[in-house]
Structures are given as structure tokens and as C-alpha cells.
Amino acid sequence: MRRIMMIVLMNGLIVGKAIESFAQKKTVNPPVKTQAKTLAKQSGTSTAKQAEKSTAANAGREISITLTPLKNTKIYLGSYFGKGMTLVDSAFLDINSKGVFKGDKKLTQGIYFVVSPNYTIQFEFLMDSKQRFEIKGDTAAKESAKIIGSPDNDLFKQYAQFSNEKGRQAQQIRTALLSASPEEAPKMRASLAEVEKEIKQYQQNIHLKHPNSLLSTLFYIMKRPELPPVPMVKGKPDSAYPYQFVKQHFWDDVLFNEDLLLRTPFFESKLDDYFKYYVSPEPDSIIQEVKQMLFMAKTGKEIYPYLLTKFTNKYINPEFMGQDKVFVYLFENFYAKGDTALLNPASRKTITERAYSLMANQLGQQAPVLNLTDSTGKRKPLYDLKAPFTLVAFWDPNCGHCKEEIPRFDSLYKAKWKANGVAIYSVNIYENENLAWKKFIAEKNLSADWTHVYQTKEDRQTEEKAGMPGYRQLYDIFKTPTFYLLDENKRILAKQLTLEQFDALMDAKKR
């Protein structure tokens, strides 16, 4: 079944009807008690009680299963969950290989699978909305499993058979193309295009004939818009149009508050591709996308916390400089406003502390004030340095990596940066290592033009008593060395780059 789904994914779908808003609402059935009260008014108390029992029965799940030749053993019901898998239920098979997956609540719709006692996936099927059907299977003939009493699974099986056949045809043509002559190749490519067209047409027919089916919904979730041809505008090609078209239609007919998104193996990979290829890496652009998606997902019981956690993990230590702004946004607009209830105490502490360590050192902000002391006991404020660029270096004289990087830092300064007017504010982060600090400066002949400083014990204690954040928090000093590049007004231009990247950035800024 997984291979079948990937064929669908590779071949794409014909664009279906677009929804007006990602936040489109779906009809929700009234609660059981409300239904019972309504029926009571219409048909009397007896009818109401019968209706209440019937509705209560339909509220849960009851999926009978026969899985030969397994007997007197426990089997499991599993589902996809984002990029992972999870077990959601179990059933005991009796002497006749029969059991029941049963519970008071319905499971989230999506793609599920039966799992053997040794945790091997047997076969996949669709968890429909009613969840009152029968499964018959054999561990020796997994592809022959039958789902009885579920129209959604009937559609799924028919499509699987059709897609398997077309998939085999397509693969045969692709294989033949590898050795085809120049004369044969065009005809083979046309045949391949025809097979792919048939698959798309089958999918489109599902949308038209069974628009409310689970299979139709899954097709929409998988769909990747096809690039349209480049149009001509006033006699010139509009090369940006195909990109904009795909971006605008990437999520057509997908509702972000639907928990079933997670119960598929393809939603999260589609989401990752969207951010990779269709969202600018600039943090403000990412924030707009994240904000919209979380707003739309807010009413989802599973999808909302999952997306919030996913975005948090992605941007708490981002791949690109400056994207930690997205994490700060998430903290200030979600966690700080009550969504910490989603976290356990350890995670809540980690996220809160990390956010406070990043708030004061975002790109474009004024660098936090530093008023530290040099080796002679004199105050040397950071903001007293007048230079087109200031590099702030936080390091430890006993750190092995610092012992390598700081001399390289000094070499670049002497060879190039000094002549360009660059200022260096060099901070020893350990007040108890002043002897080692001074010794290292002397032995490595670090430039006397640097401003070498540290924080005295007295200053640190004064900050702590006043409840003021220290420079380690303000500058996010959790590893050494840590570097910052400031402009002439002491705004943060860059952080956590290599020395060569800082050098290249200064060159670019001077042009």
C-alpha cells in the first residue's frame, strides 16, 4: 500500500476546487445529548432512549478482525503520526483467530495498519468515520486482506488495484526507455504520459463522484500543484508566475485543523518541502506562514500541538542565522500566552530559558550594553568604541577551541581588519581565570588594540541582587567562543558565524 501511495504522490493530481480560506469550517454533528433531546421532543421518551443508546454505540469504535493463523495472542492497531508511527489499540485473538479493536471513542481518520505480535506491519487500510467494519486477513497473504462494511476501504482497494497495474506499466516503459533508440523514445514517452494521465483522471473521478470520501481527502493532502507554463505579459515572459501559482495552490482543499493530516505518511514531507522551496528563509516570511498555519490548526486536538512543537524544535536552534527570531515569536505569542500547558515541566523550563536567552540578541536590534573592566581595573564600555564595525568575542582562556580560534581572530585583525577600522571587544567569561587570561594574551601576542575585558565578581553579584539579566543571558553565551558583529551604531549584524563569514559580510557591507 505504501508503494501505491507514493505512485500517487509522484504523479500529482489535477487541481480540484479551491477553498476560500484555510480556516474554512466543517459541519460538526451535535453532541449525543443534544441529539437525544431533539428526538425526545419528536418521538417521545422511549424513542429518545433508543436514539441515545444508538448514538452512544456509534460514538465509539468496534472493528472485528480475523487474522489467521495467529491464535491466543495479542495483535495491535497502528497508524502514521507525522513522520513516525504509533500504536493506538490492541486486540486479543482467540482460538479461532478472531478479535475486536474496541473503544468508547473513535480514532482519528487516516491510514492505519495491523501489527503482528512481533511488531511487524501486516497491511494498511483506511480508518473511516463510522469505524464499524470487519477485517479478514492472513499473515501469509498480506495483499489479500479484506475490509468488509466500509465504503471508504472499497474505494481504496479499487484504487490500489488500478494504481498497481498502472504503476507496473509505467515502470516497464521507464525501464524500456533506458535502452530505447532515438526513433522509439518519443513514442514510449507518449505512452508513459498516457499512463500518468489515466492515473490522474482516475483520481479526478474520485473527487467528482465521491467528494466526501476519505480517499478524496487523502488525494488533496498529497497533491502537489503542477508548474504552469510561463505566460507572456506585455510581450515579456513572467518567469515568477509558475512559482507564485504553485505556492498559492499548494494547500488547496487542505484544512489545517484536521487531525487526520498527521495520520498519513505524506503530510509532513509536503509541509517540509513547502517551507524549503516556497517560503523565503527570511524570519519574517517564515513567521507569517507559521502564524497562519497555527491559527488555522488551533481547533485541532492533535495537529495544533504537533505543529507548534515541530516549529519550536525547528527554530529553537535553526539551520540559518537569524531564524531564531521565529522561535522567539512562538514563545511570545503562544507559550507566554498559555500554551505552556502543552509542555511537561522540564520542557517548559527549557523553552522559557532559551527564549529569554534569545530575546535581547536578535539581528537588527541594538546590542545589549556591556560595561566591563579591563586588566588594569578600568571600565571599558562597549558603546565607547567608535568604529564602522565592532566584533565582540566571548571566550575562555582554558577552552581548547578558543585557543585555536582567538589567535586566528587576531591574525585576521592584524592582516586586514585593523586597517579597515574594525574594533574588537574581547570578553573573558570567567572572572576566576584572570591569570590564565593574561598569560594567554601575552603568549599569543594578542593585539594591544583590542579592548580586553571581564566582569568582576562584585559587578556580577550586584546584577544578581538587582535581579538583572547577566551578559551570558543577554548574549546567549552557552558555548565558547561566541562572536557578534555590530555596525557603527552597535546594531547586531550577525552572530555565530565563522571568522571567514564575518570577514565576507564586512566586505559586502562596505560595497
Averages of pLDDT over each 10 residues, the chain, 511 residues? 33 26 31 36 46 58 98 98 96 98 97 97 96 97 95 95 93 93 92 93 96 96 92 90 95 96 96 97 97 96 96 95 97 90 88 95 97 94 97 95 95 95 96 92 92 96 95 95 97 95 94 75
Strand-strand pairing, 236-237 and 232-233: antiparallel
Query: pLDDT value at position 222?
Result: 93
Res 181: pLDDT: 92
Give the pLDDT of residue 511: 75
CA distance 7 to 187: 22
For the chain, how many helices (H) and strands (E)?
17, 17
Which amino acid, 320? F
Q: What is the pLDDT of residue 1?
A: 36
Backbone conformation region of residue 28, classed left if phi is above 0, alpha if psi is from -120 to 50, else beta: beta
pLDDT, position 340: 73
Report the Cα 184 to chain-centroid distance in Å.
Answer: 44
Confidence (pLDDT) at 21: 27
How high is the pLDDT of residue 447?
A: 87
DSSP 451-489: EEEE--HHHHHHHHHHTPPPHHHHTT-SSSSEEEEEETT
Distance of CA 27 to the CA centre of its chain: 28
DSSP state for residue 414 in the 8-state scheme: I
Cα 106-108-111 angle, rounded to 5 deg: 120
Asked if residues 266 and 221 have their Cβ atoms less than 8 Å apart, the reply is yes
Domain 371-510 fold: Glutaredoxin (3.40.30)
What are the structural domain ranges in the chain? 282-362, 371-510
CA dist 261 and 68 (Å) reads 32
- 284: cell is 519574517
pLDDT score of 29: 35
With vertex at residue 260, the alpha carbon angle to CA 259 and CA 265, rounded to the nearest 5 degrees, is 120
